[in-house]
Amino acid sequence: MTHPSLTGKALVANAFHAPDCGAVEFLPDVAIFIDADGRIEKVSHDIPENAVRLPKGQYLLPGLVDLHVHAPQFPQLGSALDAPLEDWLQIYTFPLEAKYSDTTFAAEVYGALIDHMLRCGTTTTLHFATIHLPATRILADICITKGQRALIGKVAMDHPDTCPDYYRDANADTAVAETRALIDYINTHPENAAGRVMPVITPRFVPACTDACLHGLGQLAAETGTRIQTHVSESDWEHSHVRDRMGMSDTEALDHFGLLRDHTVLAHANFLSGRDMELIATRNGGIAHCPWSNIYFANAVFPLREALARGVQVGLGTDISGGPIGTIWEAARMSVAVSRMLDSGTDPARAPQDRGRAGSRIDIATAFHLATRGGAKALGLDVGTFQPGMRFDAIAIDPAAPAGQIISHGNPPPLQMLEKIIYGATKANIASVWSDGVQRVRA
């Protein structure tokens, strides 16, 4: 079953969205009017005669937002998970990322990655690329062509003590100049007039960058207003490395260099203090919560409920390939599961009352919000709900798709259906994907 592009039309569907954290809204048989630019004009129960109807049994959800992807690591997704972060980078990841000096290889991998992500329903992604400007331009070209809303960063990493000779920026000036060149390339791209693809300043993390590089990137952000992404306090090693070098927390160090700004997105953030969280909230930064990756590389569970309570914007990340599965469905499921583990604890040798951190669990409605509007808010983008003024980025789900694994016998009520979709959806259930109202994937 296919659905046409929807610009200038109205789509009638049974839709779910979660504008606020912790609450899901079901919109039964609603008409969503989309203008010629792909923006939602109005949402109404008055259904025009020429409306397009989603096939019976399908549901409309906002497109998924992935706040943390290393595009070049796609070939090693689902492998190389046996070493701690600092070794994993040197043994597996830097050698792989170095290969993107080859633009043919880059075009091949990046094309396959964006196809995979759109096919899984991920319509917005915050991408780390590599240090290579030509390959990073190719990633931008591919996202523009294929229609993924994407923020793309050339990775800056120039520190000779932590980055290998074969894979690092020549010096701080080069890292900053090439970051600026990517910003100019994307912002003036002739096929990117709608601005669906955006640049993002991307210091890999404090350990990989010299002070001069971090300072230069902070100045570039202030001058151009470009968003920033990096990693923060991911593991014990990273957290202590920055404290030893800077005499302050990782979060404070980023702030010191002018890198903690409006919509800066920080990946992982497991070892933040309450003060760090409050600083991030004050600067209107956000956190990419990567529950799968944290199992392998953080050895801890991100205290999500605490971050939300302190007013920090949070969304979900797959962390391809630090996480073994490249879909936000999996990140959503695992965000619920690990929050339950933190809440109740995991070591049966401890007494129940000493086993966990009570008050840490989240529910599926919160996970759905984080996977859609939460991620979008962290980035400051008008997507993630079906409300007037939002861009129409959406997915049609067919729970009964024969190759899928959602068990939906007996016509469950809507909220139970959504829970089943979030726990069970795979590529097989994605019937259609739109960004800016234009169909990008069809079953």
Contact residues toward Zn ion (CB under 5 A) are 267
Cβ-closest position to Zn ion: 267
Cβ-based nearer residue to Zn ion, 267 or 370: 267
Q: Which residues contact 87 (CB under 8 A, 6 or more apart)?
A: none
In whole angstroms, what separates CA 62 from the centre of its chain? 14
Cβ-based nearer residue to Zn ion, 202 or 385: 202
Q: Are 315 and 151 in contact (CB under 8 A)?
A: no
CA-CA distance, 203 to 216, in Å (whole number)? 10
Dihedral angle sign, alpha carbons of residues 96, 102, 104, 107? positive
Cβ-based nearer residue to Zn ion, 30 or 288: 288
CA-CA distance, 328 to 368, in Å (whole number)? 10
Smallest distance from Zn ion to CB 166, Å? 20
3-class DSSP assignment, residue 7: coil
Q: Which amino acid, one-letter code, is at 376?
A: A
Cβ-based nearer residue to Zn ion, 183 or 267: 267
User: Would you call the peptide bond into 321 cis, given omega within 30 degrees of 0 as the criterion?
Assistant: yes
3-class DSSP assignment, residue 391: strand
* Bridge pairing between strands 227-232 and 394-397: unpaired
Place of tokens 């109005």: 42
Smallest distance from Zn ion to CB 232, Å? 10
Smallest distance from Zn ion to CB 322, Å? 6
Residues in the chain: 443
Smallest distance from Zn ion to CB 219, Å? 24
Cβ-based nearer residue to Zn ion, 34 or 260: 260
CA-CA distance, 395 to 425, in Å (whole number)? 12
Cβ-based nearer residue to Zn ion, 265 or 312: 265
Smallest distance from Zn ion to CB 70, Å? 5
Smallest distance from Zn ion to CB 271, Å? 15
- Token pair recorded at residue 114: 């964006």
Smallest distance from Zn ion to CB 326, Å? 13
Cβ-based nearer residue to Zn ion, 163 or 267: 267
